[in-house]
């Protein structure tokens, strides 16, 4: 029995509303919503939400990242050009709608480094206009746009930490030798070494922020543990106080008072986030939220007085809603649903699973099975079904429990969907991360194959109908799947994935220079004969002749991380070997699809591609290309509806 198809538009089009924030003074509510089909910032008085207006005028990519200035007089948002990740920071006056680009310099990657209640009309920003590889730090006055140099980064520091008065207290520098990072503290006009972070801890240890006194700072720290703990470090003598620790996973999230910066709660996320309240000041509030929202919720915005909270609510079968919580009266009122039409659809549960790899490593993951096959409701279909192995990017990232549009889409079409946190994924301790060093196409790929074998043994997946799909590292994994283990997968979907690790490392953005030594140690060092050979051995490009199964490739023309040449190279190799491939390029995208029109068009192609190879249902392509910049360069004839 087939399931009613959930329209792609409801899953991947713009939300009706999203990303709500309350102004620090509590007078206004802001959110993202479409204006003529493009996400913009909307604003309304909190006491009259019907009096809403759109205060930005983006007509191309849509705004995805924004925040209130501490003064409540401006909103700040970030925007790049066609996916190039050269972010500009804009300030919008909510009273007049005046929009000013405060970092109007072509080709510069700007990022906000700090905002403070003590200087509410300014913020700190990193700019790499002087040297593309390193960011100097400036303080920008939001009212006037004036820019004041804070530090000229000629010593090539990779990061800085400031206190609440914008005093520069700490600087970090990654060294070439043995992958060590040194944190220095400011002493007068100079610097002295303060602490060292070894290679094995660099992905699991980082400075979080200073406390209100400016004399101690919070740090997520794995140096003395496998799982990263939360510690408070004294700037005077380096002594540490352990504040929180989990034996299952790294500390993943913190709840801190917005003005005192005191720790109120912390979370660790193994299969699901588990919150632990440590402050009596929020104990009753959290108890109310836990009772009202037993699924997933987060406190996403708070006023300076801390009397009003914005609560974001979602779980695997809830695509998201926003609520206002008034702490004084302990009352909740719903603001909106992000995708109200989708709430009416047959959304499916997500199951947390643990797969044991061949060497005994436990791999946490998430499974969604088609609703019409899960007759026993125990996550196992009544008989094996086609499956999509959905591989996350990074690879130093992770999959999470919660609403996942791709899981819902593919399961609705009749496929089991399995996402696994293979070794190298973050959040599960440093040993788990470091087990992936030098293992691209090796043990990292073995974990994916072991996951497929598990799904087959459990009676979930039809071993002859397993697809592999992913973006970035997940795209690389799809290429590796079809080249290193072509017998396992019946097809693959590669989205902005590298095919040649040599050229990947040669063309990383210049401002990734501080991370280069980490890449070389974890992937392969092209400066050594052994490392260069490792990169060659792990590159799907050099095994393109092994591809025997259908492949779909999607690429953004302006991708600064994985250049279009990565896709071009393997497409050319396949054409030289007379191997069929479908290749799509988006001239107005970068590392993934920001424009909903492009998401919808690529997913329409993907859906037809998977239906042809896995046999599931498919919504017709129809008008899915409308408004998209899709450029189908190869293989149009191989997919129904593209001719």
Phi and psi (nearest 5°) for 199? Answer: -55, -40
Q: 410-445, pLDDT tens digit by residue?
A: 999 999 999 999 999 999 999 999 999 999 999 999
Q: Residue 447's pLDDT is what?
A: 98
**Blockwise average pLDDT, block size 10, the chain, 643 residues:** 88 97 98 97 96 96 97 97 96 96 96 96 98 97 97 95 95 83 92 95 96 96 97 96 97 96 96 96 96 90 98 95 97 97 95 97 97 70 95 97 97 97 98 98 97 97 98 98 97 98 96 92 95 97 95 98 98 92 97 97 97 96 95 86 68
CA 543 to chain centre: 30
Q: 492-507, pLDDT tens digit by residue?
A: 999 999 999 999 999 9
C-alpha dist (Å) from residue 419 to 372, 401, 580, 606, 634: 20, 10, 27, 18, 29
Q: Residue 485's pLDDT is what?
A: 97
Task: Let me know if 472 is a catalytic residue.
Answer: yes
Q: Residue 174's pLDDT is what?
A: 86
Active-site option among 20, 72, 222, 472? 472
Q: 104-137, pLDDT tens digit by residue?
A: 999 999 999 999 999 999 999 999 999 999 999 9
Element (H, E) at 401: none
C-alpha dihedral (287, 426, 406, 501), degrees to nearest 10:
170
Q: Residue 336's pLDDT is what?
A: 97
As beta bridge partners, residue 21 has: 30
Give the pTM: 0.96
CA 35 to chain centre: 25
Q: Quote the CA–CA distance of 88 and 82 in Å, as a whole number.
A: 12
Looking up tokens 């029995």 gives 1
Fold of 346-494+592-638: Rossmann fold (3.40.50)
Residue 253 CB: number of other CB atoms within 10 A?
12
Phi and psi (nearest 5°) for 616? Answer: -80, -175
Residue 16 CB: number of other CB atoms within 10 A?
16
As beta bridge partners, residue 43 has: 30, 53
One-letter-per-residue 3-state SS of 499-534: CCHHHHHHCCCHHHHHHHHHHHHHCCCCCCHHHHHH
Task: Let me know if 392 is a catalytic residue.
Answer: no
Q: Quote the CA–CA distance of 172 and 159 in Å, as a whole number.
A: 5
As beta bridge partners, residue 221 has: 229
**3-class secondary structure, 143:** coil
Which residues, 6 or more positions from 238, have their beta carbon under 8 angstroms from its beta carbon? 194, 195
CB 607 within 8 A of CB 624: no
Q: Residue 177's pLDDT is what?
A: 65
Looking at residue 405, the DSSP 8-state letter turns out to be H
Phi and psi (nearest 5°) for 501? Answer: -70, -25
Q: Which of 104, 85, 88, 81 is CA-nearest to residue 588?
A: 81
Angle, nearest 10°, between helix axes 596-614 and 405-412?
A: 40
Q: Could you tell me the two tokens for 389?
A: 């192995």
Order of strands across the sheet with 75-79? Answer: 65-68, 75-79, 88-92, 99-101
Q: Quote the CA–CA distance of 629 and 643 in Å, as a whole number.
A: 17
CA 640 to chain centre: 32
CA 48 to chain centre: 34
Q: For the chain, give the longest Cα–Cα distance.
A: 73
**3-class secondary structure, 521:** helix
Q: Could you tell me the two tokens for 202?
A: 């660099």
Task: Let me know if 129 is a catalytic residue.
Answer: no
Task: Give the strand pairing for 134-141 and 122-131.
Answer: antiparallel
Q: Quote the CA–CA distance of 409 and 15 in Å, as a whole number.
A: 16
Which residues, 6 or more positions from 487, have their beta carbon under 8 angstroms from its beta carbon? none
Residue 301 burial (CB < 10 Å; 0-12/13-18/19+)?
buried
331-369 burial string, b = 16+ CB within 10 Å, else e?
Answer: ebeebbbbbeebeebebbebbebebebeeebebbbbbbb
Looking up tokens 């209640």 gives 117
Active-site option among 559, 588, 601, 628? 559
178-188 burial string, b = 16+ CB within 10 Å, else e?
Answer: ebbbbbbbbee
C-alpha dist (Å) from residue 250 to 27, 266, 398, 426, 546: 37, 11, 12, 8, 39
Which residues, 6 or more positions from 196, have their beta carbon under 8 angstroms from its beta carbon? 180, 181, 182, 183
C-alpha dihedral (609, 614, 620, 622), degrees to nearest 10:
-10
Q: Which of 398, 394, 391 is CA-nearest to residue 561?
A: 394
For residue 184, how many C-alpha atoms fall within 13 Å in the half-sphere facing its CB?
A: 19
Q: Residue 375's pLDDT is what?
A: 57
Residue 198 CB: number of other CB atoms within 10 A?
14
């Amino acid at each position: 029995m087939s399931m009613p198809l959930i329209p792609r538009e409801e899953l991947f089009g713009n939300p009706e509303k999203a990303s709500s924030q309350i102004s620090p003074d509590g007078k206004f509510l802001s959110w993202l919503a479409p204006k003529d089909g493009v996400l913009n910032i909307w604003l309304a008085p909190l006491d009259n939400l019907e009096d809403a207006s759109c205060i930005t005028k983006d007509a191309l990519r849509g705004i995805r990242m924004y925040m209130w200035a501490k003064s409540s007089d401006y909103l700040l948002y970030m925007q790049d050009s066609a996916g190039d990740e050269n972010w500009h920071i804009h300030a919008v006056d909510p009273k007049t709608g005046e929009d000013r680009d405060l970092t109007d310099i072509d080709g510069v990657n700007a990022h906000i480094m700090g905002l403070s209640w003590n200087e509410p009309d300014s913020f700190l920003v990193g700019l790499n206009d002087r040297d593309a590889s390193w960011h100097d730090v400036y303080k920008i006055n939001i009212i006037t746009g004036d820019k004041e140099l804070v530090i000229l980064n000629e010593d090539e520091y990779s990061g800085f930490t400031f206190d609440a008065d914008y005093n520069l207290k700490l600087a970090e520098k990654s060294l070439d030798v043995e992958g060590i990072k040194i944190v220095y503290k400011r002493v007068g006009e100079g610097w002295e070494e303060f602490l060292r972070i070894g290679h094995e801890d660099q992905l699991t240890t980082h400075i979080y922020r200073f406390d209100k006194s400016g004399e101690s700072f919070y740090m997520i720290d794995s140096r003395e543990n496998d799982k990263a703990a939360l510690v408070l470090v004294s700037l005077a003598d380096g002594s540490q106080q352990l504040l929180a620790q989990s034996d299952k996973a790294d500390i993943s999230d913190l709840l801190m008072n917005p003005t005192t910066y005191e720790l109120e709660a912390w979370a660790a996320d193994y299969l699901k986030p588990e919150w632990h309240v440590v402050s009596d000041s929020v104990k009753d509030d959290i108890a109310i939220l836990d009772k009202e929202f037993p699924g997933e919720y987060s406190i996403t915005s708070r006023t300076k007085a801390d009397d009003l909270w914005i609560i974001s609510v979602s779980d695997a079968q809830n695509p998201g809603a926003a609520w206002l919580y008034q702490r004084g009266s302990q009352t909740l009122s719903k603001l909106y649903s992000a995708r109200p039409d989708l709430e009416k659809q047959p959304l499916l549960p997500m199951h947390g699973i643990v797969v044991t790899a061949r060497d005994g490593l436990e791999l946490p993951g998430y499974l969604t099975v088609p609703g019409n096959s899960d007759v026993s409701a125990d996550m196992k279909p009544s008989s094996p079904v086609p499956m999509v192995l959905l591989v996350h990017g990074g690879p130093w990232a992770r999959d999470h429990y919660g609403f996942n549009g791709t899981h819902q889409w593919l399961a609705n079409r009749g496929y089991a969907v399995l996402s696994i946190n293979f070794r190298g994924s973050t959040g599960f301790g440093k040993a788990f991360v470091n087990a992936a060093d030098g293992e691209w196409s090796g043990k990292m790929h073995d974990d994916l194959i072991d996951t497929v074998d598990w799904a087959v043994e459990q009676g979930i997946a039809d071993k002859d109908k397993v697809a592999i799909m992913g973006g970035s590292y997940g795209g690389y994994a799809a290429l590796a799947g079809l080249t290193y283990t072509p017998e396992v997968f019946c097809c693959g979907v590669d989205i902005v994935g590298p095919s040649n690790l040599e050229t990947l490392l040669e063309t990383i953005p210049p401002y990734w220079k501080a991370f280069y030594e980490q890449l070389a140690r974890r992937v392969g060092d092209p400066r050594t004969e052994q490392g260069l050979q490792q990169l060659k051995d792990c590159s799907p490009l050099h095994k393109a002749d092994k591809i025997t199964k259908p492949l779909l490739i999607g690429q953004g023309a302006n991708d600064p991380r994985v250049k279009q040449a990565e896709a071009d190279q393997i497409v050319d190799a396949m054409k030289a070997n007379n191997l069929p491939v479908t290749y799509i390029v988006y001239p107005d995208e970068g590392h993934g699809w920001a424009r909903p029109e492009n998401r919808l068009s690529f997913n329409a192609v993907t859906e037809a591609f998977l239906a042809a190879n896995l046999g599931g249902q498919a919504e017709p392509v129809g008008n899915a290309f409308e408004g998209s910049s899709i450029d189908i360069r190869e293989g149009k004839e191989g997919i129904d509806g593209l001719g």
